[in-house]
């Protein structure tokens, strides 16, 4: 069995603040993944075990011309094994330019939901630390935990994440006071972005947890400063997937506003591919960049800032 999720799912208009979630089950618990990360669903077949691999890596398989690494989500989450392994499913994903198959026990359905209806888990659940659940959605009579697949892959293989070694140290002073705004819901990525930009000389950073917070911040500045708001936010760097308001909706709101539209927007996301680039352009983004390309981010910010300061 192979199901092409990208073909069968509902096509979403850009900037509506909606997403599609695939609900899947592990040990009786419901979890979710953004359909934008998925290429297809397949039954498990022809797995080749890799020696000395991470305990959560089952092995690799090659259904066609691509080789996929298989991650056992039940083992990663510390949950029980499947009652009937013959019915288990692989969720084939592509994000951050990686091909990874996540082993789950069952797949339920695809549903459409607004980011406004997704809550960020309370920090008390994780003792103040960043957890593996990036959002909680209530659907009918059940709660679906949306997993942070970027964090999962980073925990298993840190070299797949942002590499701060790609960022060059900058000793000049001309970038220090340039105000940048960042919208990113992951605590891990917020910290990495802050460190990367600080290393490259950008010290004046305002960091928000999601698009809604960033939008409220920008509109407050517009009320105070009018057209001079561009001097208060010289560039916005935003993720796409965020509770309450995603990066596409945030960008569309900014670019639809006569005062705010001149603020350069860089969408910095694990979802960037040819199709997503088109969606970013549709909402008015000035540029988009995949998260593994952190080394290129500073140069892109330089171009955007230089353009508005001429």
Structure tokens at 244: 């309450």
Same domain? For 215 and 147 the reply is: no
The C-alpha atoms of residue 17 and residue 48 are separated, in whole angstroms, by 40
Q: What is the pLDDT of residue 233?
A: 96
Q: 258 pLDDT exceeds 60? A: yes
End residue of a domain, out of 136, 159, 182: 159
Mean pLDDT value across the chain = 88
Structure tokens at 123: 């920090």
Q: 155 pLDDT exceeds 70? A: yes
Same domain? For 155 and 167 the reply is: no
End residue of a domain, out of 159, 179, 210: 159
Percent of the chain scored above 70 by pLDDT? 91
Rg (CA), the chain: 20
CATH number of residue 45's parent domain = 2.40.50.180
Same domain? For 75 and 175 the reply is: no
Same domain? For 104 and 215 the reply is: no
| Arithmetic mean of pLDDT, 114-127 | 77
Same domain? For 116 and 168 the reply is: no
Same domain? For 128 and 171 the reply is: no
Q: What is the pLDDT of residue 8?
A: 43
Q: What is the pLDDT of residue 187?
A: 83
For 57-81, how does the pLDDT look when each residue is reduced to its tens digit (9 = 90+)? 999 998 878 889 999 999 999 999 8
Q: What is the pLDDT of residue 3?
A: 54
Q: Could you tell me the pLDDT band of residue 274, with boundaries at 50, 70 and 90?
A: confident
Residue 50 CA, distance from chain mean position: 28
The C-alpha atoms of residue 297 and residue 310 are separated, in whole angstroms, by 20
| Arithmetic mean of pLDDT, 232-253 | 96
Q: Select, from the ranges 78-82, 83-87, 96-100, 249-253, the one with the highest average predicted confidence (pLDDT).
A: 249-253
Going through the chain in order, the beta strands assigned E by DSSP cover 2-3, 18-26, 29-34, 38-43, 57-61, 68-72, 89-95, 98-104, 106-114, 118-119, 133-139, 142-147, 180-183, 205-208, 235-238, 265-269, 287-290
Domain count, the chain: 2
Structure tokens at 201: 């000389």
Q: 9 pLDDT exceeds 50? A: no
Q: Could you tell me the pLDDT band of residue 31, with boundaries at 50, 70 and 90?
A: very high
CATH number of residue 279's parent domain = 3.40.50.2300
The C-alpha atoms of residue 186 and residue 66 are separated, in whole angstroms, by 29
Q: 282 pLDDT exceeds 90? A: yes
Q: What is the pLDDT of residue 171?
A: 82
Same domain? For 171 and 140 the reply is: no
Which of these ranges, 77-81, 108-112, 129-133, has the smallest mean pLDDT?
129-133
| Arithmetic mean of pLDDT, 283-289 | 95
Write the CB contacts of 216 (distance below 8 Å, at least 6 apart in sequence). Answer: none
Same domain? For 20 and 51 the reply is: yes
Q: What is the pLDDT of residue 130?
A: 61
Same domain? For 146 and 283 the reply is: no
Same domain? For 271 and 252 the reply is: yes
Same domain? For 123 and 209 the reply is: no
Domain hosting 185: range is 162-309
End residue of a domain, out of 159, 183, 204: 159
Asked if 179 and 232 touch (Cβ cutoff 8 Å), the reply is yes
| Arithmetic mean of pLDDT, 110-122 | 89
| Arithmetic mean of pLDDT, 198-221 | 96
Same domain? For 118 and 202 the reply is: no
């Amino acid at each position: 069995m192979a199901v092409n999720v990208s073909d069968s799912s509902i096509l979403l208009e850009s900037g509506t603040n909606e997403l599609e979630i695939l609900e899947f089950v592990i040990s009786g618990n419901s979890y979710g993944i953004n359909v934008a990360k998925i290429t297809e669903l397949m039954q498990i077949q022809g797995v080749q075990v890799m020696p000395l691999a991470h305990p959560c890596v089952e092995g690799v398989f090659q259904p066609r011309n691509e080789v996929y690494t298989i991650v056992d989500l039940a083992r990663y989450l510390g949950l029980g094994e499947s009652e009937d392994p013959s019915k288990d499913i692989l969720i084939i994903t592509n994000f951050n330019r990686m091909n990874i198959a996540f082993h789950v026990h069952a797949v339920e359905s695809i549903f459409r939901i607004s980011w406004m209806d997704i809550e960020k888990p309370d920090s008390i659940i994780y003792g103040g630390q960043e957890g593996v659940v990036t959002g909680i959605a209530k659907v009918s009579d059940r709660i679906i935990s949306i997993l942070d697949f970027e964090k999962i892959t980073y925990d298993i293989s840190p070299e797949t994440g942002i590499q701060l070694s790609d960022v060059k140290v900058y000793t000049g002073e001309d970038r220090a006071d340039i105000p940048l705004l960042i919208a990113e819901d992951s605590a891990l990525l917020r910290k990495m972005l802050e460190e990367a930009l600080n290393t490259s000389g950008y010290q004046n950073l305002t960091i928000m947890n999601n698009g809604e917070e960033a939008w409220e911040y920008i509109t407050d500045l517009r009320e105070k400063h009018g057209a001079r708001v561009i001097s208060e936010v010289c560039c916005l760097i935003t993720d796409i997937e965020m509770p309450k308001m995603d990066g596409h909706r945030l960008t569309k709101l900014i670019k639809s506003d006569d005062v705010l539209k001149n603020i350069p927007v860089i969408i910095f996301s694990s979802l960037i591919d040819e199709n997503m680039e088109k969606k970013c352009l549709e909402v008015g983004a000035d540029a988009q960049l995949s998260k593994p390309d952190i080394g290129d981010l500073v140069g892109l910010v330089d171009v955007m800032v230089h353009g508005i300061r001429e």
